[in-house]
Amino acid sequence: MSRVRTKKTADEGWLKPPPRRPGPLPPDTVTPPAEAEPPLPSFEVVVEKSGQIRQAGASQAEGEEVRRTRARLEGSLYQFARVVLDYHWLAPKLHVPVCRFIQTCPPRRKFLLMPRGHCKSTLVAQALPLHMAIQPAERNIYLPGEPGVDVTVLIVGERLERAQDNFRPIQAALQENELLRAFWPHVVWENPRREAKKWNDSEMILPRSREFTDPSFRAVGMGAALAGSHPKGMIFDDLTTEAAANSPPEMQKAINWSKNATAMLFDQQFGLIWYTGTRWAVADLPDHRMQNSPEIQFNKRWRSMVEDGEIIYPNKFGYEGAVESLQKEHGVMFPLLYMNSVGDSTLTDFSESDLRFYNLVGDELEFEENELDAQLVKDMNTPARKSDLDSLRGRPLDAQTYALLRLQNHVRVRS
């Protein structure tokens, strides 16, 4: 058996695992393909009614297997999201490397640029804050040396409602997720609405070891007043979408606000910032960050829904004619939203491949010539087309040449 199981009491026997529960810990690797991967250690975990967790068959809670499993989940955002949060729609081939990119610190400033509907917000704005909170102080992969439960994360959306949409699954997991509550009981309240100092739809305080000015998680909309707030981590989720794309001042406002907001970090050196986004316009927030913020690491891959001729997220877009139907549906926005490409010929006039470059070496310009130059030289030096007059050029005007000129209509006689 390699399945996470739940059990209410010893007498009731095994409950049928709910369909949403995944099997073994998902592979934390991209290549080789799943079928060729070495078998992963399976585990069975039983959550008692008391909330304690133990390995199936073990008489005591907190066995070696449970500790090992917990450590694995704490060390892998992908496994945490897939197993504990039950994000069964994640695809290992795509989301394992994406999660590695998200959780690898340093670098501490990252921008995840992915097409629409590829789970970037799910991972960064929903799973990541929880994963940060469950980190043990001795193995904290995000804020080394600090207990995860002391984290303070600001989750920013384009509007407050969007940020709260991401906030709700976090809250639900902390209140209801059996596995989360059993593996990390120190992170959750028994009755949060009564015990927590803040527990509403935009602020939550976990049972942390000491008090901070910021709540553990706070959801705000872009443009919110943040003076006095000093979170340890910031998540900017899709700050610039349609409204900003259609309004340059709105776009600039988003760029300036996010730039100023990063100054609020509790620790400028070790504070963490994640951006997620999709291209909506040429001069948008991702573009601005690419051009002006060298400290931010951008993902090089997974930017377009098709890479090397393959759909990167076949679980969702693997159906026949997916690309064509999206192209048809989104028209000129398709290259932006699904390919994160602003250089597409449907959007712009000039192709990058048509530009030519030279190097300045001392006083000389060096460049590669190509067939266009050869054609140019040919055009510029082609002899002129012979005209009717060429045969008469330079000959004295006499009766014969006059007759020829008259014949070719080059002479006009006044009546």
Partner 1 sequence: MTTINLADLQPVWAFCDPASGEASLKRVASRSAIVVAAPDHLGRIFVLYAWAARIPAGDLMERIYAVNERFAPKSFGIESNGLQTLYKGAILRDASLRERHLPLVGIKQPTTQQKDNRIRGYLQPLIGNGKLFLRKDMVELQHEIVTFPMNPQKDLVDALASVCGMIPAAKPRRRFDVEREAKLEYLRRSGAPLAEVEAAAKG
Round to whole Å and give the CA distance between 81 and 272. 20
Nearer to partner 1, 168 or 356 (CB): 356
Residue from 291, 309, 321, 409 in contact with partner 1 (CB under 8 A)? 291
Complex with partner 1: residue 220 or 245, whichever CB lies closer: 245
How far is the CA of 132 from the CAs of 74, 123, 237, in angstroms? 9, 12, 17
- Residue 39's nearest CA partner among 51, 50, 52, 24 is 24
Residue 376 near partner 1 by CB under 8 A: yes
Report the residue from 20, 193, 393, 414 that binds partner 1 according to the rule CB under 8 A.
393
Number of Cα atoms under 13 Å in the Cβ half of residue 230: 8
| Closest CB to partner 1 among residues 263, 360 | 360
**E strand segments, 102-152:** 109-113
Nearest residue (CB) to partner 1, 280 versus 317 = 280
- With binding defined as CB under 8 A, does residue 355 bind partner 1? yes
Judged by CB under 8 A, the stretch of 84-92, 209-217, 230-238, 278-286 that binds partner 1 is 278-286
Instruction: Work out the widest C-alpha separation in the chain, in whole angstroms.
Output: 129
- Show the tokens assigned to 118: 């590829």
Nearer to partner 1, 269 or 370 (CB): 370
Is position 13 an interface residue for partner 1 (rule: CB under 8 A)? no
Quote the tokens at residue 292.
């002006």
* Dist CA 299 CA 290 (whole Å): 11
The answer to whether 237 and 161 are in contact (CB under 8 A) is no
Q: Which CB atom, from 137 or from 342, has the smaller least distance to partner 1?
A: 342
The span of 167-175, 178-186, 232-240, 389-397 binding partner 1 (CB under 8 A) equals 389-397
User: How far is residue 281's CA from residue 290's CA, in Å, rounded to a whole number?
Assistant: 14
* Shortest reach from residue 101's CB to partner 1, in Å: 25
**Positions in the binding site for partner 1 (CB under 8 A):** 248-249, 251-253, 256, 281-283, 291, 342-343, 347-352, 354-361, 363-370, 372-373, 376-377, 379-384, 390, 393-395
